[in-house]
């Protein structure tokens, strides 16, 4: 029987060969990536891009500016991202947290050890495991694997995990068997996102065209 590490490495190699590097997460700074991770909750990335463009146009994509802007004004700016009143409050919670912990210095905050930092991020109103891990991995270059709806669906379709399993269990599916390499975790998750978005998480999945089709049946 093929062991889980071999299965995961084979899937990674197959996807990388088919798709190449994804250059994800897009952002000019760690702070922009963190803001994007909050904005992308329950919305498509194209909508997040519009909101981030608005923030940049108003010079609000800076820790102090985000901290100072009234929440109602922020909500108007990020409206393209959807759920804008909720997300404005979440961004303000994050900005408050950042100044409380490190006087607005994200790099200083991200220098903390991963376990301590993850616990702190999860204490922020509006930041759950997926958002926290996205910030840790993509903004902080920390070795944690991000689990999202795409990852869940792909593993489920290939009979590897239950679709509705707890976040930590699905994360352990990768982290217990792969080396803690942030570069690989970054690329692996980005590849899964592309596969999920393009082929899998659709009303009618395009399994026959997917690079992962039949990989764990060989």
Predicted confidence (pLDDT) per residue in 85-128, tens digit: 999 999 999 999 999 999 999 999 999 999 999 999 999 999 99
135 shares its domain with 150? no
Residue 90 and residue 98 in contact, taking contact as beta carbons nearer than 8 Å = no
List the alpha helices (DSSP H) in the chain. 4-19, 30-39, 45-57, 63-68, 71-77, 84-102, 106-110, 114-122, 129-134, 149-157, 167-175, 182-195
What are the residues whose beta carbons fall under 8 Å from the beta carbon of 112, sequence distance 6 or more? 120
Task: Give the pLDDT score at 127.
Answer: 98
Domain termination site, one of 111, 139, 167: 139
67 shares its domain with 131? yes
CATH number of the domain to which 81 belongs: 1.10.340.30
Number of domains in the chain: 2
Task: Give the pLDDT score at 215.
Answer: 64
119 shares its domain with 204? no
CATH number of the domain to which 17 belongs: 1.10.1670.10
73 shares its domain with 153? no
> Which tens digit of pLDDT belongs to each residue from 128-183?
999 999 999 999 999 999 999 999 988 888 888 887 889 999 999 999 999 999 99
What tokens appear for 80 in the block? 């393209």
Residue 210 per-residue DSSP state: -
42 shares its domain with 134? yes
Number of residues written out for the chain = 218
Q: What is the pTM of this model?
A: 0.94
203 shares its domain with 105? no
Q: How far is CA 116 from CA 16, 34, 143, 158, in A?
A: 32, 17, 14, 34
37 shares its domain with 19? no
Q: Residue 19 belongs to what domain range?
A: 4-23+145-217
Domain termination site, one of 120, 139, 158: 139
CB count in 10 Å sphere of residue 91: 27
Question: Does 1 have pLDDT greater than 60?
Answer: no
Residue 93 and residue 125 in contact, taking contact as beta carbons nearer than 8 Å = yes
Question: Does 216 have pLDDT greater than 70?
Answer: no
What tokens appear for 57 in the block? 């146009």
> Which tens digit of pLDDT belongs to each residue from 57-96?
999 999 999 999 999 999 999 999 999 999 999 999 999 9
Residue located via tokens 């998750």: 189
133 shares its domain with 159? no
Residue 151 and residue 192 in contact, taking contact as beta carbons nearer than 8 Å = yes
């Amino acid at each position: 029987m093929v062991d889980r590490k071999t299965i995961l490495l084979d899937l990674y190699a197959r996807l990388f060969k088919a798709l190449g590097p994804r250059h994800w997460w897009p952002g000019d700074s760690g702070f922009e990536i963190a803001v994007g991770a909050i904005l992308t909750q329950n919305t498509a990335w194209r909508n997040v891009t519009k909101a981030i463009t608005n923030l940049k146009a108003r010079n609000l994509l800076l820790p102090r500016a985000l901290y100072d802007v009234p929440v109602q004004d922020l909500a108007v700016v990020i409206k393209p991202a959807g759920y804008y009143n909720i997300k404005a409050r979440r961004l303000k919670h994050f900005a408050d947290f950042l100044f409380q912990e490190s006087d607005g210095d994200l790099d200083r905050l991200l220098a903390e050890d991963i376990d301590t930092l993850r616990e702190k991020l999860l204490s922020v109103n509006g930041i759950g495991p997926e958002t926290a891990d996205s910030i840790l991995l993509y903004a902080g270059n920390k070795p944690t694997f991000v689990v999202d709806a795409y990852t869940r669906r792909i593993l489920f379709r290939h009979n590897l995990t239950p679709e509705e399993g707890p976040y930590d269990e699905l994360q352990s599916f990768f982290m217990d068997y792969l080396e803690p390499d942030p570069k690989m975790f970054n690329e692996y998750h980005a590849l899964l996102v592309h596969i999920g978005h393009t082929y899998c998480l659709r009303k009618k999945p395009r399994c026959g065209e997917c690079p992962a089709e039949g990989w764990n049946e060989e």
